[in-house]
Amino acid sequence: MDFFSRNIKEINNENRLYAQKRKIVSVLMKSGEPLTIPDLCIAIKTSVPKGTKLINELIEGGIIKEFGKRETENGRRPVLYKVRPDFAFTVGVMIQLKGISFCVFDMEMEEIYRNDKSTFILENTRACLDEVVQFIRENITASGVVTGSVLGIGIGITGRVNTATGSSYTYFDSLDVSLSQYLKDKLNTRVYVDNDTHLIGLAEQVFGKAKDVQNALIVNLSRGLGLSIIAGGELVSGGQGFAGEFGHMQFLGTGNKLCICGKRGCLGTEVSGYALEESFAEKIKAGETSLLQSMQGETENIHYGKIIRAANNGDVLCISLIHEMGFTLGKALGNIINLLNPELLIVGGKFTVAREIILEAIKSGMVHTTLSQPLRACTLEFSSIGPEGGVKGTGALVLRQLDII
Amino acid sequence: MDFFSRNIKEINNENRLYAQKRKIVSVLMKSGEPLTIPDLCIAIKTSVPKGTKLINELIEGGIIKEFGKRETENGRRPVLYKVRPDFAFTVGVMIQLKGISFCVFDMEMEEIYRNDKSTFILENTRACLDEVVQFIRENITASGVVTGSVLGIGIGITGRVNTATGSSYTYFDSLDVSLSQYLKDKLNTRVYVDNDTHLIGLAEQVFGKAKDVQNALIVNLSRGLGLSIIAGGELVSGGQGFAGEFGHMQFLGTGNKLCICGKRGCLGTEVSGYALEESFAEKIKAGETSLLQSMQGETENIHYGKIIRAANNGDVLCISLIHEMGFTLGKALGNIINLLNPELLIVGGKFTVAREIILEAIKSGMVHTTLSQPLRACTLEFSSIGPEGGVKGTGALVLRQLDII
DNA sequence: TTTAATTTATAAAAAAAATTATAAACTTGC
DNA sequence: GCAAGTTTATAATTTTTTTTATAAATTAAA
């Protein structure tokens, strides 16, 4: 029963006041900088005396606080207000194939507690789910944050997730209820579940370069290939939350490899860290040479990260493989740019280490499929939030679901 | 200076009342059926006495009117209210390659005047633009509608249009100002411009099967190939309004024909009425036979409409050509379904005459590229608004831009 | 250094809105 | 056919909000 859990269905003055207070908090959270009474009154379309009253009540409630005065050209300097960073907290949990991360964020989305467990292995079993619950419980205690002040827990999990219902289709799918409902019952707080790719998109929209962009694509290229879509200023989730299934798209391509989805020729079989490992091994088998060969005894099971590093160090084979991948990715993205006409394309993930190589490759691929006008209108940038983006997204997920961010 | 043109930037009580009245009109427009005082008070979150006062003022202003009483189970029957159909009008103009249509719609979006000029030929010249202006002026006069009661003119034009600025990139692009600004100055009323495909999408969302759907794709397959996208309940226009460029996408495909865009292998060169005409001629040249052959002296320049009709009459060649097209379209759409996870796919355009053939073909194509979960979640339907959809969309465009629909 | 101009914040007065109470219109059950 | 129950609509009362006026805090200019 925190500030955000009031039921505002009934129409009366008390609920109207509450709605306005909530709007003030939301405006302050979204603004990124502290605001004045006049600012807030304009934002919530009310008179200054009433706005003042609401703000004072929010201060008394410990939700917002004064934050100095604004330097102005002339006139009396207005007092600035912002949301108290310690008014409440969000918890974010990122469940990866190998490893699980737990984070507590304050209202300024600063990480105030973190614990990574690298020994965790994600399996579709009840025991694994129990381990997750246990891990979350232990860390909530360890973080020392008061339970009542946690607004909710955002869970990021790899695989397919139905955002609307909060069920995971890839893991923990044998529960009687949705994953989010199950965890809610176990942990006794709000729980929201989404997949890692969407959370990177959310982080990019909230903290990153897509902040004030209405239409953007966020590509996440690491061992897998993911895509987040922002259209009309909103993250696109689709009917079941499956939107962004980019890795299984079938574009023009030379390859015809079998994908885990059962189909042949999926983009992910050509463009992904996994695909890079495979094609590297193939090339070596076919007699080509690489610096990596001499450094390691075996050429099989070379992690794609090493191939990227080798490319950065000038290894010709690795450069050409990554270039080819980027080119194919660019062609595929070009089709999506035609379809959605985004102003911005953000490339994130582990491959961004090889910036120059991948950038040039994507660009030349894009030219082959993108119409000139949408191409000119679309800026290509690299993610600025780094590989930790997904984790920041888990915390942001709670605030987004509460509609205060 | 009509009801919708008030500037509500300043925050005072008068503007708040105006905003609430506008909301009432908007709620009534969107509802589709007349509403009661309690309904409207809940919708605008106000008390019954205040809502009553606002409603009475709207009645005095000639904007809404009583519409009988609602039949209820018990209690006093509430009076129903709706927007007066004749309170204001919208004008819609659809500019096609051959032919131009002018329509006046009332507030219930009923066509109350219409004039089609089939002799019109669209050219990128000032003379042609003058002809358009003249045609609009004449018809506004002829329709007998009072100029002050026209809320605005919605223009639909084929080709690429920047929705945000109202400029056409394909036609009338040598003006000093945007097309919409130019027409606004000439016609002295609000003017909004969008392309025909987006307007079909809008019509489908406002009047058609996409009415209450959050995520949908609307394919327009006639002589060209167009796509409208609804994501998160909103029509996607993209940064410049180019979203939906489906005809120039490059998917898996056997063909490698040169497209008007300069690239090879665009989807539109394989899937469109134009492509059907070409492939029909090719097949006949290659020695295949068709019922159409004996009916006409020549096999060149056979309109795709005839090929569709022949297919419906059992012509084997025509059936196989359309089936092949539908199959390719289905494969391409499957990729987009993976990407956007829509609940609904609406197929519209002239090809819907051959319902059974095209439906089966699209479905079997989709299976090849769509992942099982998004595929299961997506319903395939035919458009119900018919080939006139685009024209209805022009009128709806005005109401949508005024945010009352 | 004072005065004018400007903007924010608070106080007092006036207006508007929400509650509450009541009347009106209607069904159902006895 | 009348009372009880239900919902809508209006009237009266109370509360809330806005408006207007004024004070406070600041810069720039006379």
DSSP element (H, E) containing B94 = strand B89-95
Percentage above 90 pLDDT, chain A: 80
Residue nearest to nucleotide D6 (CA to C1'): B75
* A72 Cβ contact partners less than 8 Å away, ≥ 6 residues apart: A78
Burial of B43 (0-12, 13-18, 19+ CB in 10 A): middle
Q: How far is B170 from chain A (nearest CA, A)?
A: 12
In tens, the pLDDT along B258-269 reads 888 888 888 999
Residues 49-68 of A with CB under 7 A from strand D: 49-50, 53
Nearest nt to the CA of B38 via C1' is D8
3-state class (DSSP) for residue B373: helix
Out of A229, A242, A341, the one facing B374 most closely (by C-beta) is A242
Using DSSP bridges, classify how beta strands B150-157 and B89-95 pair: parallel, antiparallel or unpaired: parallel
- Tokens 């400029």 correspond to B167
pLDDT value, residue B348: 93
Interval B186-203 mean pLDDT: 95
pLDDT computed for residue B293 by the predictor: 64
| % of residues, chain B, pLDDT over 70 | 97
Round the CA-based radius of gyration of chain A to a whole number and report it: 24
Q: Which of A47, A169, A377 sits opposite B240 (nearest CB)?
A: A377
User: pLDDT tens across B30-79, in order?
Assistant: 998 999 999 999 999 999 999 999 999 999 999 999 999 999 988 999 99
Q: What percent of chain B is predicted at pLDDT more than 90?
A: 80
If you ran DSSP here, which 8-state letter would residue B154 be given?
A: E
In contact, B187 and B136? CB cutoff 8 Å: yes
Can you tell me the mean pLDDT for A346-366? 93
- What 3-state DSSP class applies to A135? helix
CA–CA distance, A281 with B298 (Å, rounded to integer): 58
Q: Which helix (H) or strand (E) holds A90?
A: strand A89-95
What's the farthest any 2 CA atoms get from each other in chain B? Answer: 79
Nearest CA in chain A to B331: A250
Chain C positions with any atom < 7 A from a protein CB: 5-12, 15-20, 23-28
Predicted local confidence at residue A159, as pLDDT: 87
- Under a CB-based contact definition with an 8 Å cutoff, are residues A51 and A44 in contact? yes
Spacing of A74 CA from C6 C1' in Å: 6
Most confident region among B132-141, B277-286, B377-386 by mean pLDDT: B132-141
Residue at shortest CA–C1' distance from C25: B76
Query: CB-based burial of residue A81 (10 Å sphere; 0-12 exposed, 13-18 middle, 19+ buried)?
Result: buried
Nucleotide C13 C1' to residue B48 CA (A): 27
Q: State mean pLDDT over A16-32.
A: 96
A-B contacts at Cβ under 8 angstroms: 165
Q: How confident is the model at residue A259 (pLDDT cuts 50, 70, 90)?
A: confident
Distance CA B373, CA A167 (A): 13
- Is the pLDDT assigned to residue B121 strictly greater than 90? yes
Whole-number mean pLDDT of chain A? 92
d(CA B12, CA A32) in angstroms, rounded, equals 27
How far apart (Å, rounded) are the C-alpha atoms in residues A253 and A273? 17
| Residue A167 Cα, gap to closest chain B Cα (Å) | 13
Closest Cα to residue B328, out of B255, B401, B274, B245? B255
Mean pLDDT of B24-30: 97
- The pLDDT mean for chain B works out to 92
Judge: A336–B331 Cβ closer than 8 Å, yes or no. Answer: no
Portion of chain A with pLDDT greater than 70, in percent = 97
Q: Is the CB of B36 under 7 A from strand D?
A: yes
The confidence score (pLDDT) of residue B250 equals 83
Note whether B215 and B229 are within 8 A (CB). no
- Average the pLDDT over each of A24-33, A113-122, A255-264, A338-347 and give the range with the smallest value: A255-264
Q: Is the pLDDT of residue B298 over 70?
A: no
Give the pLDDT band (50/70/90) at residue B388: confident
Question: pLDDT per residue over A152-199, tens digit each?
Answer: 999 999 988 998 899 999 999 999 999 999 999 999 999 999 999 999
Rounded Cα–Cα distance for residues B355 and B225 (Å): 17
Containing H/E element for A221?
A: strand A216-221
A331 close to A294: Cβ distance less than 8 angstroms: no
Q: Kind of pairing, strands A234-235 and A216-221?
A: unpaired
Of A64-78, A131-145, A243-257, B368-382, least confident by mean pLDDT is A243-257
Predicted confidence (pLDDT) at residue A294 exceeds the cutoff of 60: no
CB A402 within 8 A of CB A4: yes
Contact of B366 with B333, CB cutoff 8 Å: yes
B48 touches strand D (CB under 7 A): yes
Say which residue the tokens 């390691």 belong to: A296
Confidence of residue B290 (pLDDT cuts 50, 70, 90): confident
First-to-last alpha carbon distance for chain A, in angstroms, is 20
Global pTM reads 0.94
- The predicted structure's pLDDT at residue A300: 60
So what's the pLDDT on residue A256? Answer: 75
Residue range A86-112: average pLDDT?
96
- Least confident span in A124-138, A183-197, A384-398, B8-22: A384-398
Instruction: Tell me which residue in B231, B252, B341 faces A242 most closely, judged by beta carbons.
Output: B341
B360 — pLDDT class (breaks 50, 70, 90): very high
DSSP classification of residue A46: -
Question: CA B18 – C1' C15 distance (Å)?
Answer: 17
* Burial class of residue B306, CB neighbours in 10 A (0-12, 13-18, 19+): middle
Which of chain A's residues have a Cβ under 8 Å away from the Cβ of B266? none
Both ends of chain B: CA-CA distance in Å?
A: 20
The answer to whether the Cβ–Cβ distance between B238 and A215 falls below 8 Å is: yes
Could you give phi then psi for residue A9, rounded to 5 degrees?
-70, -45
